[in-house]
Structures are given as C-alpha cells and as structure tokens.
Structure 1
Amino acid sequence: MLLAVAVLWALFVAARALLSGRWWVWNGLGLAPPVLHLLLPLVLLIPAALIRYRRRAAVGVVLVSLLLGSWQTGLHPGALLRGQPAVPPDALKVVNWNTFFWDQDSDTDAFYAYLKSHSADVYLLQEYQNARGDEPAPIDELARIRREFPGFHIATEGEFLTLSRFPITSVRALRPDGLAPPDTSWADYWN
C-alpha cells in the first residue's frame, strides 16, 4: 500500500513538472500547494524506512519524488544561509495587488492610505471596478487617483489600472481569440 502511494505521488510530481502550463486540463489538477512536494515525501519516508517488505523500492520511489518535487516547492534554502541582499537605492519598486472590487466594501481613505504606504514606483492593480449584484461594474475614480498620486502616469484597460512614476508608452489589451464575450453588460471587462 505504501509503495503504491509513493508511486502515485511520484507520478503526480512528474506529471506536474511535465504538464503544468502546457495542458489546460492540468491547470486544476496541478494546484497542490507547492510545499506539499516537500512535506508528503518526508512524511512517506518515515514509514517507508520502517517497513520490511519492499523497503528499498518504497524508499527509492519516495526519494525520487522528493528530488523531482523539491524544485517545485518554491523554497530556496540558500536564502536561509545568507542575509537579505542590499536593495540598490535606485531599484524599481513594483506593487501588484488585486484590490477586490476597489474600495467598494472598505473605508475609502484607508484604502488609498494603504496603497500609498507602499511608496511604489509602479502599481499594477486588478479589479478597478465595483459589483452590482453578481455583475462587475466599471467605476471612474480617476480624479481621486490623480489627487492621491500626483505626478503618476495612469493607464486603465477593463478592470486593470496601472500607476507609474515613469511614462507609460503603450497600452494594449490582450484579447483572446475565439472566446464568447463575457456574460456581463461591461464589454471591456475581460480585456
């Protein structure tokens, strides 16, 4: 039984490495939390080392899945061994945030204070919108945004908003071909 679980996990890890981002069906299947690629083999290693029947095979399969999955964890052990590198004073600071329907359900002043607290050079913001029932609704907060972020360049496209201390030289929405239009009265929603 343990060997079967170890083999299934090793096959899953190998399939994730080969298919993730390449086959649309795998998008849902490959959502295992990355740290699971480290924890599950370590948990399986204990009983695999203790069993008598097919111990070598079980330990071998678990170690293979640990090796295959370790680079998929997102963990970087080297970062634990050395301190944080110094950030150059001229480094570009980018904030990427899904605002969850802008300030619809929050204190507007606190919302803008939170954004400004990051002191970013570029803000990439999603859900520059509200909701009316189950449907997304466009908003126009540009006057307030200009007051809160003087000197920033602004670009909006659908539900996306970019604020930049640097000039924005081009704005282009990526529109997928062959998809049905969004089920909303806001035609630019999915742009």
Structure 2
Amino acid sequence: MPDLDSYGSLSDSLEIMDQRLQRMADFKAAFNDSVSRDVVKHVRHRNSLLRIGKLPAEILQTIFNLLLFSPRGRRKSRFVSRLTTLRAVSWSWRDLIGRTPSFWAHVSSEDHKDFVSEALERSSQAPLHFKHIGKHADGPESPFLDTVLPHLHRWESVAIHQPNVHVAAKYFSAPALKINTILLSSLANGTYQPGR
C-alpha cells in the first residue's frame, strides 16, 4: 500500500500537468485570436482594392439598402447577419455602414441587446422601425420596449405581437407623433379596457 507521501507527490504531479495543459490551451487561444485578427486585416485590405470599393458612397448605400431591406422597406431575413457580413468586407464599408443612420433604424426584440443598443445609438435621429414579439412568460414589463421607449419621438413603424395585451397598452400611454404604421396583435383572452 502506498504511503501518504506518494499520494501527495502524485497529486502535485497532476496539478503541475493541469497547469501546463492550461498554459498550452491559453497559448492556443491567443495564437488563434492573433491569426484570426491578422487574417481579417489582410482580407479587408485585399477587399479594399476591389473595384466595387471604388464606387461612390451613394451607390454603395443603394446596393446595401437592396441587400438589407425588402422593396416595402422591411428588414430582410437574417438582417443582422447580413449587416455584420457587409461591415466585415472592408474598413471603408464598415465606416460607410456605421455612419448611415437608416441602416441602424430597424430593430427587433429578437436582436441581441448589444445590437439593439448600438443600433439605437447609430441611428441618431432617423425614424425608428421596430418589431417586438412578446412571450407568454413575460410579466408586465418588456426590457426591449423599455429600451426603445426613450426614442418614442422617432417611432415611425411599430409591430408588436404581444400575448399580454396589457404590456402593449402600457407602452402606448404617451403620444408618438411620427408613427404612420402600427401593427398590434395579442393572443390574450378578453379585451383591454383603458383606465382600469
């Protein structure tokens, strides 16, 4: 039977091996990150030399608009993914998209909260178009609607699909003067009676 000292040295050896493995994993992650950043830098430089990069900003904005939005002005499917891909092509495209408020004025409750925050900031004072899809588990509050509420003065088109009609009604207690399109739907049983 091994004595207590051999268990201690075995334990120490395993701990040393774990530390070495962790250092190797950290090195691998840092190396992959460095290579990835270097590849992105070179790809963006190569892409900046392409002829399409020489087009005037107005034409590029029109092309991007056709890629991102339907003829009726609604976001196309995989909007955030498309926007992210276009921004990754070159530094000039990233800059152009970043400073075009209309590309950022369409948000959805299905978007990541970081994207929503960035979009609300980059959209500046452009008219805001948003879609909120509530869930049955939602309580009387909506973090997404709380985020877009301070921009009420910019709301132009709103689509709210909310199982709880009282949540949707809460956010329409103040006038939104620029709204020209509203779509409200609720799966709630019963009716909403204002003032109750």
Structure 1 and Structure 2 fold alike (TM over 0.5):
no
User: Larger radius of gyration, structure 1 or 2?
Assistant: 2
Per the normalisation by structure 1, the TM-score is 0.27
Structure with greater proportional helix content: 2
Per the normalisation by structure 2, the TM-score is 0.27
